[in-house]
Chain A
Amino acid sequence: MKADLFEALSLNIAAHKACAVVTDIEAGSQILIGADTRIGDLKLKEEQLAVVNQLIVGDVSGQIDETNLFVRVYGPALRLIIVGAVHIAQALAPMAQLAGFKVTVIDPREAFVRAGRLSEVEALTDWPNEGMHKLQPDSRTAVVTLTHDPKLDDPALAAALRSKAFYIGSLGSNRTHAKRLARLTEDGFSERDLDRIHGPVGLDIKAKTPSEIAVSILGEIVATRRRAAA
């Protein structure tokens, strides 16, 4: 790999921009294909370029059939938006970062944010509807609400339901969750919309402590993403 291609790749990855490196594994020639970059000595045919662009969209690396061309796709960052700088968030945020998520915690209660010791995590002290509007969740975003407080959770869930977020989870018992669904139904969401919300949140691993609950939530997020791609 030529130094200039590698340096451009580093910049794309640091900026969370989707891109791909295509390598002719017999000849050793390469090209970096990004939204606004194209660097390298490998020439691709139109139809090969179309395949590469498809692979970038699907975030799938692999060889192009019947060619020597290997495509390594570097997808944009996965994101996790956590509403509520509560105890579980303190565990969930760093775990999700380890697993490759760019994590943002939204909580207008500054004391919670300070108490949450979230120094390595982006924290917004906006109200959830404002925070969600700033963050614009997309199909590579997971949203989890943890506050139990309808004033904070409901607007975030409504914004998540109006987005393409691939995972929406909401902490609360069966009873709390049923009430929540009733409120969201009154707000005009259909049963099909509400089926997107995982609640009670997380895989059933009999989690008790905040960190165990974080494991169950992160497990459910990973399972949802990987099952959708399988």
Chain B
Amino acid sequence: MHNVDADPLDRLTEWHAAGKKTALATVIKTWGSSPRPVGSHLAVSEDGDFAGSVSGGCIEGLVIEAALATITSGEPAQLEFGVTNDMAWEVGLACGGKVQVYVESIS
């Protein structure tokens, strides 16, 4: 049976070995009742496949977009989501927490 917590890096390793361009998003800071702890990973391939999570599913769409942009540009990015952020409110980080996510390409 597969360890679901290790899944994002295992998948990233597979994509990387297959020669695909990839990116990794990591929760680097949380405030309040954020659903995933610091260090949580979301792995993204150039095809838009993804594994893991950085929230309970609320902000994954935006993080995947940012990851795909990072794959193209090669530039890492920091994203912040919280109740004070209109964007995040829209996508529904309704738990009242705040998270900071670091997105980088593997290159």
Contacts and interface: CB of A to CB of B under 8 A. Distances in A.
Interface residues of A, number: 26
Interface of A is mostly: mixed
Interface in A59-104: 61-63, 70, 72-73, 93-95, 97-101
Interface residues on B, range: 20 to 34
A70 B28 contact: yes
A165 B5 CA distance: 22
A38 to B, nearest CB: 19
Interface in B59-107: 75-76, 78, 102, 104-107
Given A3-B16, A6-B106, A28-B76, A72 B1 contact: no
Contact of B38 (A2, A28, A62, A93): A62
A115 interface: no
A1 B106 contact: yes
Given A1-B106, A25-B78, A61-B38, A10 B26 contact: no
Interface in A1-43: 1-3, 6-7, 9-10, 13, 23, 25, 28
Contacts of A93: 1
A10 B104 contact: no
A175 B107 CA distance: 61
B4 interface: yes
B13 A10 contact: yes
Contacts of B39: 61-62, 72-73
B9 A13 contact: yes
A63 B2 contact: no
A186 interface: no
A120 interface: yes
Given A100-B3, A100-B5, A25 B106 contact: no
B36 to A, nearest CB: 12
A97 B24 CA distance: 24
A120 B1 contact: yes
Contacts of B5: 99-100
Interface string B8-32: 0100110010000000101011000
A8 B88 CA distance: 35
Given A1-B106, A25-B102, A63-B29, A97 B9 contact: no
Contacts of A70: 26, 28, 102
Interface of B: 1-6, 9, 12-13, 16, 24, 26, 28-29, 38-39, 75-76, 78, 102, 104-107
6 contacts: A1-B106, A9-B9, A10-B13, A23-B102, A70-B26, A95-B1
Shortest 6 CB-CB contacts between residues of A and residues of B: A61-B39, A94-B1, A97-B1, A10-B13, A100-B3, A28-B76
